[in-house]
């Protein structure tokens, strides 16, 4: 463990334990939905107090990386869990009514990273990528044109069949078939006009106003693993964000 100092590089002890637990998650020691060792076991493993381990786990739980279950233990969070499947989907009907969500596959193709994608995914320009396009429908009505790009290396074997079989939940598919779990995302929102292709897919006139949501999703270790552009029709829907 690092020794306490006045230098800017000093990490509190619980934060060091948090890093070690995260490294075990990156290495695949504990898979999504699996229970991790108890606080007592981890304290013995890392030679720290149980309270220090508890504080590290509390921090990981607050970030939706771990989940505490009363009387059962602490588990690695999974996108298959209820409440997690739609964690990053924030388009909501103004009426508040629940809707049947589905998707319509458009394409899945190999591509190469341009300068922007290379920068946001921290890969070399020209590196192999996989590009997916689909429509997200709400109660049968297409509302989001979804454009996704991921680096090819961690998603070897990702193809049209796997995208269609995923039945909409790309994050669940990443997790179950490629061992990549998204734990957080950064988004940038702005108003745009629908291009000809997007307008046709959404059944709109070219130039119709849409909400553009550009998202970069990160896995363990804060590594960017997916770029996504959602072009959303918001006539009777809005983007909802909960702030803490």
User: Within 13 A of 47's CA, how many CA atoms are on the CB side?
Assistant: 1
φ/ψ (deg, to 5) at 48: -135, 175
Same fold, 13-76 and 91-239: no
**Direct distance between the N- and C-terminal alpha carbons of the chain, in angstroms, rounded to an integer:** 32
Contact 86, 103 (CB under 8 A): no
Q: What is the pLDDT of residue 5?
A: 42
Q: What is the DSSP letter of 34?
A: P
Residue extents of the structural domains in the chain: 13-76, 91-239
Nearest to 76 by CA among 57, 95, 89, 93: 57
- Which residues, other chains included, contact 205 with Cβ-Cβ below 8 Å and sequence gap of 6+? 194, 199
Note the CATH architecture for domain 91-239: 3-Layer(aba) Sandwich (3.40)
* Tens of pLDDT, residue by residue, the chain (244 residues): 554 444 445 688 998 999 899 889 888 888 888 899 999 999 999 999 999 999 999 999 888 789 898 888 999 887 664 444 445 667 788 887 777 788 899 999 999 999 999 999 999 999 999 999 999 988 888 999 999 999 999 999 999 999 888 766 788 889 888 988 888 889 999 999 999 999 999 999 999 999 999 999 999 889 999 999 999 999 988 887 766 5
Q: Specify the pTM.
A: 0.77
Per CATH, which fold does 13-76 belong to? Arc Repressor Mutant, subunit A (1.10.10)
């Amino acid at each position: 463990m690092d020794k306490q100092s006045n230098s800017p590089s000093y990490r509190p002890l619980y934060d060091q334990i948090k890093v070690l637990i995260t490294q075990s998650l990156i290495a695949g020691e504990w898979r999504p939905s699996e229970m991790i060792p108890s606080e007592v076991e981890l304290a013995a493993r890392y030679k720290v107090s149980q309270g220090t381990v508890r504080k590290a786990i509390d921090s990981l739980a607050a970030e939706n990386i771990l989940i505490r279950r009363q009387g059962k233990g602490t588990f690695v969070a999974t996108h298959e869990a209820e409440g997690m499947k739609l964690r990053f989907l924030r388009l909501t009907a103004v009426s508040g009514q629940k809707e049947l969500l589905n998707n319509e596959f458009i394409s899945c193709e190999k591509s190469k990273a341009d300068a922007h994608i290379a920068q946001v995914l921290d890969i070399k320009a020209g590196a192999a990528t996989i590009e997916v396009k689909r429509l997200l429908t709400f109660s049968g009505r297409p509302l989001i044109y979804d454009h996704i790009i991921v680096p090819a290396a961690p998603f070897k074997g990702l193809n049209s069949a796997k995208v269609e079989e995923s039945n909409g939940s790309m994050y669940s598919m990443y997790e179950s078939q490629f061992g990549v779990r998204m734990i957080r995302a950064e988004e940038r929102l702005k108003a745009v006009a629908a291009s000809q292709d997007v307008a046709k897919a959404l059944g709109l006139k070219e130039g119709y106003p849409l909400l553009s949501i550009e998202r970069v999703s990160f896995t363990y270790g804060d590594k960017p693993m997916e770029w996504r552009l959602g072009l959303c029709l918001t006539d009777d829907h809005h983007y909802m964000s909960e702030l803490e």
